[in-house]
Structure 1
Amino acid sequence: MHVLPDDDSWIAEELRAIGDRIRAERERQNLTQEQLILAARIDRVTLWRVETGEEWKASTLLRIARVLGIPLSDLVGG
């Protein structure tokens, strides 16, 4: 079992890293934000929140992973 750090700053770092991986994969596939928004059936603010490391729902991440055609573990893994 792992022990949590004294503060939650690690959470923000992890969320930013996930957002960075999503943005990188979207760009690697030459998809615009608009294309991903439409395909994943999410709104612009939601994608902005994900790519900038804000809080998001697991269902949003599942939609994005499905549209990008990659395993969810590739987005959340490090």
Structure 2
Amino acid sequence: MRDLPDDDEWTPDRLRAIGDRVRAERRRQGLTQDQVWQAARVDRRTVQNIEAGHEMKVGTLLRIAWVLEMSPADLWG
């Protein structure tokens, strides 16, 4: 087991990477953000925030992964 770093500088990079993967898969499928948020039954701003690398709930990520037909592991990278 490893200890967390002394600061949280590493978390924004990880969140951005998840958002980048969501955006890339959405675009690969030719979907708009509107299509994704409506299918996932989440707020429009939620999809925008995820793709921007903001904090996100695991349950919301699972919904979006389902809609994009991705495994949760693919989101984590």
- TM-score, structure 2 normalization: 0.95
RMSD of aligned alpha carbons: 0.7
SS of structure 1 residue aligned to 2:7: coil
Q: Counterpart amino acid of 2:68?
A: L
How far, CA to CA, are the matches of 1:28 and 1:68 in structure 2? 10
Please list every run of 5 or more consecutive structure 1 residues that lacks an aligned counterpart in the other structure: none
Deviation, 1:72, is 0.5
- Corresponding letter in the other structure for 1:29: Q
**Match for residue 56 of structure 1?**
56
Q: Please report how far the alpha carbon of residue 3 of structure 1 lies from its aligned counterpart in structure 2 after TM superposition.
A: 2.1
User: Alignment partner of 1:47: what SS?
Assistant: helix
TM-score, structure 1 as length reference? 0.94
Report the identity percentage: 58
5+ residue gaps in structure 2?
A: none
Following the alignment from structure 1 to structure 2, what is the Cα–Cα distance between the partners of residues 21 and 44?
18
3-state SS of 1:65 partner: helix
**Residues paired across the two proteins, number:** 77
Pairwise mapping of residues 32-47 of structure 1 onto structure 2 (< 5 A)? 32-47=32-47
